[in-house]
Structure 1
Amino acid sequence: MNGKDVIIVTGADLAPEAVALLGDYELVFAGKKPQAAELAALARQHNPVGIIVRYGSVTAEVMDAAPALKVISKHGSGIDVIDQKAAAERGIAVRAAVGANAAAVAEHAWALILACAKSVPQLNARMRAGHWDKSVHKTIELNGRTLGIVGLGEIGRRVAVTGVAMGMRVIAFDPYAKTVPAGVTLVSELKQLYQAADVVSLHCPLTEENRGMLNRETLSWFKDGAILVNTARGGLIDEPALAEALDGKLYAAGLDSFAIEPMVVPHPFQQLPNVILSPHIGGVSDAAYVNMGVGAANNVLAVLQGSAAAV
C-alpha cells in the first residue's frame, strides 16, 4: 500500500487528463463489466473515499462496504444507476458531469434521425447485396416536418437547434425549461407533442415517474409513419409495445439505450428491419471521453477537498 486514499473507477480505464488530476489518490479499476457484488468486494478491500461510475450500478450494499466513502461521481450525466436515496441517507455526495457529453449525444441522436429518415443502413446493405433501388425507394425529407423534443436540457437544446437549422418546425415538452432556443415552441402536454411530431427524440432523465412513459397507449397517439429516436434511457420505453408499433404504426426507430443493458439477445428488435440499434454509444466520442473523465474527476476533488477544508 502506498498510503494514498483510494478512488474506485467502475471501468477499465479513465482519460489520462482525468488520471493526472487524481494523482494524489490511488485509482483502482473495476474492469469493463463490474457487477454490484464485485464492486462491494472491492469496496470492502480498499475502503475508497470516492467512486467514479462508468459502468454498472452503485447500490446501498456497495456504499455500506466503504465506510470512508464521501462522493460518487458519474462519468456522464445519467445518475439513475446510483441509489441516490441510499447515498443521501449515508451522507454521500452524488455528482454528475453534466453537459460533458452533450455534443456527442446530440450528434448521435441526429445520426439516428437521419439514418431512419434516409434508410442509410438498409440501402447500404442492399447495395452490398448487388441491388440498385433508385426506382423503388423514396427517403423521407425532414425539411418542413415537425420535430418533437422531450426534455430541453443541454442535449435536447442542441438537437432542437439543429432541427431548426434543418428547416423543421420544432416543438418541445419540458415543464422545467425556463428558456427555449430561438425557433422552438414549448407545448404543455406530451400528448400534444406525440400527436403533432413526425420525429420524436427523447432527451429526459429516467425517473420512477416517467418509467415506461412510451407504452401501448401513448404510442397510439403518435402520427402514423412517425420516427422515434431514444438516446436517453431505455427504461423510458415499453419495448414489447414499441416492437408492436414498429409493425405498421411507426416508420422507424433509432435506439441507443435499452431496458436491460447489454441488450438481451435474442431480442425482438433484432428481427425488425425498421429499427436501427447502437450499443449506448451516443456519449462515447473521443472528446466526450476526456470531458466526462475530467468532469467526474473535478467533481470528486470538489467534494473531497471541500471535506478536507471543512475539517
Structure 2
Amino acid sequence: MTADIIITEFLDKDAERFLTNKTSVFRDDQLAFDPDKLCSVAGMARALIIRNRTIIDTRLLDAAPHLAVIGRLGVGLDNIDMAACRDRQITVIPAIGANSDSVAEYVMTAMLVMMRPVWNATTAMIDGTFPRQLMGQGCEIGGKVLAVIGFGGIGRNVARRASAMGMQVMAYDPAFQPEAGLEVIAASLPECLAAADAISLHMPLTDDTRHMINAETISQMKTGAVLINTARGGMIDHVALANSLRSGDLGGAAIDVFIDEPPAKDALDMFRGLDNIWLTPHIAGVTQEATKRVSWMTVEAVAKHLSLG
C-alpha cells in the first residue's frame, strides 16, 4: 500500500476526510508501533501525520525519499530526528497552541484534586463510614504559590488560570519573557522549588532537563507540595518521586507522561499502594475540542505545504 499522505495515529475523522478528498491517504493507527511496516509503506509518501508514539529516525527517512513534510499532532518533537529532517529539507509542523487549553485545564484539575483529595472518599462512603474529619484536611488553592517550570505557551496558559483563582505564580525559564497583564515572579529553579505549594512542569526534554526532578531537587521542595508533569516522562526520577510520596515529603503528584508509552508491565510498580498519586495515559492535551483543533491545524498546514488547495 502506498499513498501520498500516511497517518500513523488518531485524528478527527472530518479532518482526515478533508485530506482524502484531495489526495491518496493511508491511515493505520498501528503504524506507530510497527516501524517495519511504516518503512514498507512510506516509499511514495510526501507527508506523514503523526503523534508522539511514531519514531521518525534516519531509517524511516531513508525509506521515504519523497517525504516533504511531517505534521505533528501535538507540540513535542523529541520523537523526531530534527537534524536528519533538516539535512533532507523536510519541514516539521507542530500544532502549536492547539491543545494548550486542554493541558492547562488538566493541570488546574490535578492541582485541585491533589490539594483537596475528596475524590477518594467514595469507597469509604459506600462502605458505611463518614470520613468528614479526614476529608476536611484539604486546602484551598487561593493564596498558594504555583511554580511554573517552563514559561512557554502552555505554561503561560496555566499561569493565567492560576492567577485568576488567586494563586501567586512564580516561573523558571532560561528564556523567560514577561506577559503584559499577568503578574508572575521570575525566579531560579531552586527558588521556585523552595517556595511553591504546587509545581507544574512544562519544559522540553533535553539532556539538561532529563531527571531534573530527582531526590536532590525533591528535597528542596516544601513538605506537602504537589508536583504535576504534563511535559515529558524523562524529566522525573519516578523512584525518587514514589519514595517522597510514600514518606509524605510530597503531598501528591499527577503524572500524565512517561518515558515509554505505554509503560512496560510493572514499570510503575513503585507507585503501587499510594493514594496520593494520579497516573493518566498522556491525555492532558486530549479532549474532544483539542483533538479537533490539533487535527485541523495539522491537516490544513500539510495540505498547504503540498499545494493541495
With structure 1 as the length reference, what TM-score do the two structures score? 0.90
User: Is the alpha carbon distance of 1:218 and 1:181 closer, same or farther for their aligned partners in structure 2, counting shifts above 3 Å?
Assistant: farther
User: Is the alpha carbon distance of 1:77 and 1:120 closer, same or farther for their aligned partners in structure 2, counting shifts above 3 Å?
Assistant: farther
1:181 CA displacement: 5.3
Distance in 2 separating the partners of 1:233 and 1:128: 37
Distance in 2 separating the partners of 1:282 and 1:183: 23
1:61-76 equivalences under 5 Å are 61-76=59-74
Q: SS where residue 250 of structure 2 aligns? A: coil
1:65 CA displacement: 0.6
Distance in 2 separating the partners of 1:265 and 1:120: 29
Distance in 2 separating the partners of 1:69 and 1:258: 29
User: Is the alpha carbon distance of 1:100 and 1:197 closer, same or farther for their aligned partners in structure 2, counting shifts above 3 Å?
Assistant: same
Report if aligned partners of 2:15, 2:299 keep a CA contact under 8 Å in 1: no
With structure 2 as the length reference, what TM-score do the two structures score? 0.91
Report if aligned partners of 1:13, 1:29 keep a CA contact under 8 Å in 2: no
Amino acid at match of 1:220: S
Deviation by residue 1:119-165 (Cα, 9 ceiling, x = unmatched): 14322333343331102331122111101111222211121111111
1:69 CA displacement: 0.3
1:234 CA displacement: 0.9
Distance in 1 separating the partners of 2:170 and 2:274: 29
Amino acid at match of 1:210: T
User: Is the alpha carbon distance of 1:144 and 1:188 closer, same or farther for their aligned partners in structure 2, counting shifts above 3 Å?
Assistant: closer
1:227 CA displacement: 0.2
Partner of 2:107: 109
Report if aligned partners of 1:18, 1:290 keep a CA contact under 8 Å in 2: no
Report if aligned partners of 1:11, 1:34 keep a CA contact under 8 Å in 2: no
Deviation by residue 1:238-272 (Cα, 9 ceiling, x = unmatched): 11111112122100001111122112332222332
Partner of 1:52: 49
Task: Please tell me whether residue 80 in structure 1 is matched to residue 78 in structure 2.
Answer: yes
Distance in 2 separating the partners of 1:230 and 1:285: 18
Partner of 1:207: 206
List gaps (5 residues or longer) in structure 2.
none
Amino acid at match of 1:251: G
Percent identity of paired positions between Structure 1 and Structure 2 = 35
Specify which of 261, 280, 283 is matched with residue 282 of structure 2. Answer: 280
Partner of 1:93: 91
Amino acid at match of 2:243: E
Deviation by residue 1:44-78 (Cα, 9 ceiling, x = unmatched): 4xx21000012322222111111000111100111
Q: How many residues align?
A: 303
Report if aligned partners of 2:176, 2:186 keep a CA contact under 8 Å in 1: no
Distance in 2 separating the partners of 1:86 and 1:163: 39
Amino acid at match of 2:258: F
Partner of 1:218: 217
Partner of 1:168: 167
Query: Aligned-residue CA RMSD in angstroms?
Result: 2.1
Distance in 1 separating the partners of 2:305 and 2:298: 11
Partner of 2:4: 6
1:13 CA displacement: 4.7
Report if aligned partners of 2:3, 2:45 keep a CA contact under 8 Å in 1: yes
Distance in 1 separating the partners of 2:226 and 2:10: 36
1:183 CA displacement: 4.3
Q: SS where residue 103 of structure 1 aligns? A: helix
Q: Structure 1 stretch 266-275 or stretch 232-241: which is displaced more?
A: 266-275
1:97 CA displacement: 0.5
Task: Please tell me whether residue 185 in structure 1 is matched to residue 184 in structure 2.
Answer: yes
Partner of 1:122: 120
Report if aligned partners of 1:170, 1:183 keep a CA contact under 8 Å in 2: no
Report if aligned partners of 1:172, 1:184 keep a CA contact under 8 Å in 2: no
Report if aligned partners of 2:11, 2:292 keep a CA contact under 8 Å in 1: no
